Amino acid sequence: MPNPKFSERPEYGWAMVAIAFTLSAISFGVLSSVGVFLKPLAAEFGWSRGSLSFGYSAITLATAFSGILWSIIADRYGTRWLVLFGSIVIGIPLLLLSQMESITEFYLYYFLFGALGHATVTGPLYANVGLWFTRNVGLAIGLTVAGGAVGQGVVPVIVRYLINHYDWQTAYATLGVAYMILAIPVATLVRDSPRRKTAHAETAPSQRDGTPFPLPPKVVVAWIASAVVFCCVAMAVPIVHLVSLLTDKGMTPDGAVTVFLALMVAGAFGRILGGKLADHIGSLQSYACMSVLQTSVIFLFPHVQNTVLIYILAMVFGLAFSGVMASFLVAVRMMVPARVLARSMAIVSLFGWIGMGMGGWQGGLVFDLTGDYVWSFANGSIAGVINLIILALFYLNIRRASGHQRAQLAST
């Protein structure tokens, strides 16, 4: 019997990790560069930071709601052609942004980037990667989503350089062309896991002790989504507003973007750490640990003046928020059946994107109302506390359901 092609063998799962890493880096780079464009666009058009922050919200909300449709398609037909479509169109909204003249166009083009680009080359691919692996699932997903952190760190530096040496129009146009050149060839390498169809026959995933997970998928998704929305409100504030906060405090734009780069480089390691930690102690436990760390540092940003401490704080936050992102994706992978994996991830991501949009927007709105970022960042930590309360209640619910399950098995 002839050997299957490499793209059909389990080892190709690691190639899929590299492919998803690259596409995630490309796409998330646009998301984080919104903060770098805030001041140049405000100076050009006179738009407020609150209104400009809604551009970030436009991407997140478009990604959230269109992601449900794309995930249903991915569950039924796979991700290969879906991702290729997204890679073809991903640069077009950026080219349009380089020619915009109104705030309406600003929102519309960012919305299209989220709906047709970002939503197709991120969420469905995470589910795809998860199905390639039965061991080291957390590590694989952690490495995959680490690409987003790398893109979020590197692309703002490139954008800052282009704005400094040219203008914001050139920055958008350069990103648009470069993204299409990079994304399309990579997307042609996407393959669906050979076990995708057989995995769809699974009724319930197994817990670490080998027993079936005791809660139905809808309950799992409802709990995780409820926590994630507040978790993402918290993490969005530094992601969107850190560069502006630091320049308000007297740091140069290049220096502020460098701090953000350090945050995202730490974030790349944080996503790997979060995924690996989920493999060792459990995905929900990893999610809670990283959430505690994230919540603890957010409110400190407006109060720290020392440059070294700012870098340390940024890197700690980067580790924490990225570990959270990897952990909750692993939690969905390990708690719901494969047949509804992509849509389950999409629903959780929908609430995450809503939280990201709300967090980024409230950061700008509260700044406009108060004249500083103190309460913008404090609100982020408050949302983080709510996230931790929900996680604790979810953990207790799992324990209670597992106890009932063991009692029923003992009585039969």
pLDDT of residue 203: 60
pLDDT of residue 1: 38
User: What span, in angstroms and rounded, lies between the C-alpha atoms of 373 and 301?
Assistant: 9
What is the DSSP track for 116-131? IIIHHHSHHHHHHHHH
**Residue 172 CA: distances (Å) to CA of 99, 121, 177, 179, 363:** 9, 20, 9, 11, 24
Residue 411 falls within a domain, yes or no?
no
DSSP 114: I
Q: What is the pLDDT along the chain (412 residues), one digit of tens a residue?
A: 345 566 567 778 899 999 999 998 988 888 778 778 888 888 888 888 778 877 777 887 888 888 888 888 888 888 888 899 988 888 899 999 999 988 889 899 999 998 998 888 887 888 888 888 877 888 888 888 888 878 877 888 888 889 989 899 999 999 999 988 999 999 999 988 776 666 555 566 666 666 778 888 899 999 999 999 999 999 999 988 888 899 988 888 888 888 988 888 888 888 888 888 888 888 899 999 999 999 999 999 999 889 899 999 999 999 998 889 888 888 888 888 877 888 888 889 888 878 887 888 888 888 888 888 999 999 999 999 999 999 999 999 998 988 887 777 677 6
User: Half-sphere exposure of 360 toward its Cβ, with a 13 Å CA cutoff?
Assistant: 27
Residue 147 falls within a domain, yes or no?
yes
**Rg (alpha carbons) of the chain, rounded to whole number:** 21
- Give the count of domains, the chain: 1
Residue 21 falls within a domain, yes or no?
yes
Q: Helix/strand/coil (H, E, C) string of the chain?
A: CCCCCHHHCCCHHHHHHHHHHHHHHHHHHHHHHHHHHHHHHHHHHCCCHHHHHHHHHHHHHHHHHHHHHHHHHHHHHCCHHHHHHHHHHCCHHHHHHCCCCCHHHHHHHHHHHHHHHHHHHCHHHHHHHHHHCCCCHHHHHHHHHHHHHHHHHHHHHHHHHHHHHCCHHHHHHHHHHHHHHHHHHHHCCCCCCCCHHHHCCCCCCECCCCCECCCCHHHHHHHHHHHHHHHHHHHHHHHHHHHHHHHHCCCCHHHHHHHHHHHHHHHHHHHHHHHHHHHHHCHHHHHHHHHHHHHHHHCCHHHCCCHHHHHHHHHHHHHHHHHHHHHHHHHHHHHCCHHHHHHHHHHHHHHHHHHHHHHHHHHHHHHHHHCCCHHHHHHHHHHHHHHHHHHHHHHHHHHHHHHHHHHHHHHC
Residue 239 falls within a domain, yes or no?
yes
pLDDT of residue 93: 92
Question: For residue 121, what are the domain limits?
Answer: 8-192+202-404
Residue 1 falls within a domain, yes or no?
no
- Give the residue from 178, 231, 194, 163 showing the smallest Cα distance to 22: 178
Q: Give me the CATH number covering residue 16.
A: 1.20.1250.20
pLDDT of residue 387: 95
Residue with tokens 């061991």: 135
- Give the residue from 221, 271, 232 showing the smallest Cα distance to 353: 232
